[in-house]
Chain A
Amino acid sequence: MKTLRFTVLALALALGTSLQAQTADEILDNYFENIGGRENLKAVTGMKMTAKVNQQGMEIPLEIYQLSDGRQMTVIKFQGKEIKQGVFDGETLWSTNFMTMKAEKSDAEATANFKLNTNDFPDSFLDYKDKGYTVEYVGEESVEGTPAYKIKLVKEPLTIDGETKEDVAFYYFDTENYVPIAMESEIHMGPMKGQMSWVTFSDYQEVDGLYFPFSMSQGVKNGGSQPITMETIELNPEVDAAAFAFPEEVAETKE
């Protein structure tokens, strides 16, 4: 079977660029079918994930909210205190400052870049053409010993330090199951600038008829990584709109 699939791809490549996009689409078709279907995925209006990040004995519990209208929030619990990171209320991107424990807005550039991604829920590849994205089949590559189809996804350009940069990511779809097992993109800021970030996905499990990766590992390509494990994923959760709103000043509640 593997040989046959390879032949098909080789043929598609030989036939030129017009067919390449179709091949990428075929991979995506298989992917969406295998994880539960495009229509079912489109019906999802929000996700709440409870997760744990394990840093050498320090288990950090997280709650991650992602909603179809673009709102997002990650709630971290340390020593009984809630800290919010990457909260987006539709307009403002903010996080709790670890020193003051008060909310602070992200800088304008980060917020503008973040807004570009709010149409990515629940999946960047869903209706990617409508979003103005392009996908391209790059070829077959081995990801840590597992053969995978490499797909290039180009989204809206980002602004980094005042300069426009293409927003490119490479997804690696397992040739057997057609689910992403890794994702690669350039790091634009900070000490790792210019290197590639590398995220791997595994432990796909079913939630209400849809499959999601319950384990991810994020790091630098060829470097260290930090795993994050989902304990539960809840679809279409009830959320409190106030939790996303930027608090002008966090209320001092007496403990």
Chain B
Amino acid sequence: MLLAVAFPQAVAGQQKDTLRADNVFGDLRARHIGPALMSGRINDLEVHPANNRIMYVASAGGGVWKSGDAGTTFAPIFDEYCQSIGVVTLDPSDPDNTIYVGTGETWTRNSVSVGCGLFRSRDAGATWEKLGFDNSERIANVLVHPEDPNIIYVGVLGALWSDSEERGVYKSTDGGATWDRILYTDARTGVADMAMDPSDPNTLYASMWEFRRTGWSFESGGGNSALFKSTDGGATWNKIHNGFPGGALGRLAIAVAPSNPQVLYTVIEAEQDERKGLYRSDDAGASWEQLNNDFEITVRPFYFSRIVVDPRNEDVVVKGGLSGSISRDGGKTFRSLGNMHSDIHDIAFSIVDSDIMYVGTDGGLYRSWDGGSTLEICEDLPLSQFYHVSVDDAEPYNVYGGLQDNGSWYGPSSSPGGITARDWNSIGQGDGFRVLKHPTKPIIYSEMQGAENVWRTDTEKRLIKTIQPQPTAQAPDLRFNWNAPMATSVHQPDRFYMGSQYLHKSEDMGETWSIISPDLTTNDPAKQNQEDSGGLSMDNSGAENHTTIFTIAESPLDENIIWVGTDDGNVQVTRDGGKTWTNTVANISGLPANTWVYHIEASVHDKGTAYAVFDGHTRGDMAPYAYKTEDFGATWKSIITDEVEGFARSLQEDYENPDLLFLGTEFGLFITLDGGLSWAPFRNNMPPVAVHYLELHKGTNDLVMGTHGRGVIILDDISPLRELNAGVMDATLHFFDSKPMEINERSSFGNSTVETEFVGANRSTQGQLKYYMKRRHTFGKMTMQIQDMDGNKVVDVEPGKSAGINVVSWGFTRKIPKVAKGKTFSFGGFTAPTVPAGMYKAVIQKGRETYEHPFEVVYQDNGISLEDRKAKEKTTMELFDMTESLAYLVYQVDAYMAQAEAAGDKRDLERLQTLKEGLVITTGDNYVASAEPQLREKMADLYSKVASSYGAPSGADMENFKLISDRFATAKAEFEKLKPRVKGGETLQLASFEEFLEMD
């Protein structure tokens, strides 16, 4: 972000012209497929103080969500800004409209993202203004004075991986225009929690926490951690430690009982285990008494220091924790909350009934109706936090990936009716990371943290084998990253790589392993003391394992070329299958030493070309770094410009256009059309969420993004971007090449009863015509037709009018038939017939100019013979024509009936009426009062049945077809007999059949 501005322009001096992608994306729009069934980490909850339907969820990596139905369904309201949220607070004097969002999650695990300051909306989330705190990184609390909304307190926890002076308690008395820092300790110590006395807004509590994380350690606690109280609106602060344990303190939570502000609770992380735990004060902090040091109270303070008191009962206290726990005796004893996803970060009581509770966890939002004993998950929050994604070549392709504390999963990229929870399959436990499909067999590789288990699952036989590399006599100690790398090979389908400090290779799907490298890391012992990690509370989860391999890339062009990147900053390459290795990182200029190598992309265009993406955020360096080499790492050049926001983690090369690159950063997706001379953010339905991994699907050209907070997001078919060059971008209108378009014949039966569930969007199955316009079409007429190659209109479609790329969909259908007028609808008549495969053209008329684009429509390769398809088309169109002929017949009959009536010819009127009653329905309604179907209905229903089925019409269809045809012929003959009898009939001025078709 900020550092990026100062970043050296290593690309300066290039001869090539830049090709900026700003404002070209038009209708290219990302789609979100979730999943939501395991949801993701939630940092904070806020309920409306007066309206029990309204609540807000602040997610750790997926933005802010609002519910207007008490947590049943949600909509995101913060999608234009960074997605890591610390706190959401409603202004108590205007809770309907004024919302504060403090960004940057505050439960400081290893994988946390970063924030981007403080924001306020005055219109319930429709628009936001920024209130500063650009370098706050994480904001823990926002408190607004209940009577004077101009008085605002902000608790800034601050930077996790570096010193920062933007920490402490800040106060504004002018509605956020200016801020004073009113409580500050030092550059290592920030505000972990704050509370305001509801009966006296000048009485404030703030807990200060000394903390620091590195890539290889975490330290909680120190002499500067303390709990403070102010009774004068923050002008002066005093420590309130009477009854506290001595020595260094860690993270402290603070809560005031709303029903009795004399009662305070804090949870203390202390040096001595027996002095850790829950403390209560009954005199507003003058003295404290220790009540409880159960596991749930003391577990992982950096992750769970949240206390919530029932608004109606000072003795009902809930504490965040591994399971979360509740006390109903003022904090003396606790029992765990009911079954739900573990890792409880926040709890909110309903304003109307304390039996109703909301709980925010590592696996989404839960709701209880019985005081926390049983909990139901909200199914509408797609907050899943992927570390990695991969795809296969199935049709539709599947997406694979692992999630923070939510195992490993795979699911389809499209599913009839949309992608729902039932479409996803679990393929691993624990924290999930990389999941890879075997290139040819029904085998999936998955893992849990630190390669504790690496599973090879046979998905057909449902058999699992655990296959991770193990210590050997030659290599007795293996160091695996928390997010251990694995890779498959396009050259040898059974080959499987894993990285510890060594590169391990298996040629038999993990049955046997060989080490094909020396220790490729720095092997720095100072970064290998994980058993000492945690500070006052030991926290050796393995999450801080360091000096490990993090990324492995075998060249798709040469199996002997393998790239390896390490978390401590080495970029190693072998060109002889692992016999010799070269560390090339010294050849990169402008990169701070030991910066984490997050991703290496070995080029599909050239053996010597690769991209390396570096992430320095765990050293407090938030700048993006990505470099390209064209000579096996001998030289590297930066491809980053100051248009890129957020530190980068992932890069994807296009398979056809070497200048088209996609970059995933902590603040979203960036695209370059000129090999990195310029970058543009992609924001069409793509929030600036952390993109941890990018994959480009070869068959569809879909860009699949593994985001850490918004699940899997897919940008369908990026191929138009390949064609963009200076000439195209200067054209009034340019049609993009289109691959032959396939008529979708698959079943559309899909999901139902998903009213309260997140449903992922499908890839369009329609034909898509894509064109570029330099400028938006705003004035004058612009129309579009599909025509056959002779110029005959097939159907009108509505063209897109945007500047940039337009995408127009066509379902391969003609117009629906004109149906005879009756008393009710003939629903079969609403079916549009599908065109036969062949060449068509799209014709755009824009002002006086005409633009044409020929394209091919093809059948799906699903075993249906061409002969059967022709038979279907023939019968469909015969029934289509017959339906329109019948409509014309009814039109004539109606005219003759009117004439007979006018002429007083009762006998013929009756005969015509009898004829008509056999042709169309003349009574009843469209539902259960419907009349018996007549010829129109039978004809249209058969038409619809044949048109909507695959293959040739059945024998039953053809028998029915004959019956209907005969009956229609009889009716026409009957009408021809009646016509001459009607007096004055010969004088009727009837529309011709062609004229009739044009009438409304």
Contact = CB atoms under 8 A, between A and B. Distances in A.
Contacts of A195: 75
B927 A99 contact: yes
Contacts of A58: 815-816, 830, 832
B778 A145 contact: no
B821 A203 contact: no
Contact of B825 (A79, A138, A181, A196): A79
Looking at chain A, what size class is its interface with the partner chain? Answer: 35 or more
Contacts of B922: 254-255
What's the dominant secondary structure at chain B's contact region? loop
Contact of A255 (B810, B823, B826): B823
B442 to A, nearest CB: 35
A229 B798 contact: yes
A80 interface: yes
Given A54-B797, A56-B811, A80 B821 contact: yes
A177 B832 CA distance: 39
A194 B68 contact: yes
Contacts of A202: 776-778, 782, 801
Contact of A181 (B776, B814, B815): B776
B813 A57 contact: yes
A101 interface: yes
A99 B53 CA distance: 34
B29 A174 contact: no
B755 A191 contact: yes
A91 B782 CA distance: 39
A177 B1000 CA distance: 36
B174 interface: no
A214 B822 CA distance: 32
Contacts of B555: none
A203 B684 CA distance: 23
Interface string B764-783: 00100000000111111110
A81 B798 CA distance: 25
A159 interface: no
Contacts of A170: 126-127
Interface stretch (B18-26, B492-500, B532-540): B18-26
Nearest to B686: A222
A100 interface: yes
Most A CB within 10 A of own CB, among B24, B810, B1000: B1000
A217 B798 CA distance: 9
Interface in A185-214: 186, 191, 193-196, 200-205, 211, 214
A236 to B, nearest CB: 23
A201 B778 CA distance: 7
B804 A203 contact: no
Interface in B757-803: 761, 766, 775-782, 795-798, 801-803
A215 B798 contact: yes
A138 B822 CA distance: 53
B262 interface: no
Interface in A96-112: 98-101
B926 A99 contact: yes
Nearest to A56: B811
Contacts of A99: 925-927
A177 B780 CA distance: 13
A64 interface: no
A203 B801 CA distance: 9
Contact of B24 (A81, A145, A174, A200): A145
Nearest to A160: B68
A55 to B, nearest CB: 9
A57 B804 contact: no
B459 interface: no
A255 B777 contact: no
B66 interface: yes
Interface in A110-144: 138, 142, 144
Interface string B825-861: 1100110110000000000000000000000000000
Contacts, number: 145
A166 B123 contact: yes
Contacts of A144: 26-27, 776, 802-804
A215 B781 CA distance: 9
Given A101-B925, A146-B776, A163-B51, A57 B814 contact: yes
Contact of A79 (B777, B798, B829): B829
Nearest to A77: B1000
B824 interface: yes
A98 B1000 CA distance: 19
A227 B77 CA distance: 26
Contacts of A59: 796, 815-816
A57 B819 contact: no
A84 interface: no
A168 B796 contact: no
Nearest to A147: B23
B685 interface: yes
Contacts of B815: 57-59
Interface string A200-244: 111111000001001101000011000101000000000000000
A6 interface: no
Contacts of A196: 126
A45 B20 CA distance: 48
B421 interface: no
Most B CB within 10 A of own CB, among A177, A195, A202: A202
A229 B141 CA distance: 50
B31 to A, nearest CB: 9
Contacts of B776: 144-146, 174, 181, 202
B819 A79 contact: yes
Interface of B: 23-27, 29, 51, 53, 66-69, 73-75, 77, 97, 123-124, 126-127, 684-685, 755, 761, 766, 775-782, 795-798, 801-804, 810-811, 813-816, 819-826, 829-830, 832-833, 894, 916, 920, 922, 925-927, 929, 1000
20 contacts: A54-B798, A56-B832, A57-B832, A57-B833, A58-B832, A59-B816, A61-B1000, A79-B820, A98-B926, A144-B27, A144-B803, A163-B53, A174-B776, A194-B73, A194-B75, A201-B778, A202-B782, A205-B779, A229-B798, A255-B894
Given A144-B802, A202-B778, 18 more contacts: A56-B766, A59-B796, A79-B820, A99-B926, A142-B23, A144-B803, A145-B776, A146-B802, A170-B126, A170-B127, A174-B778, A179-B778, A181-B776, A193-B75, A211-B779, A215-B782, A222-B685, A255-B922
Of all A-B residue pairs in the complex, the 3 with the closest CB atoms, nearest first, are A57-B832, A194-B75, A80-B821
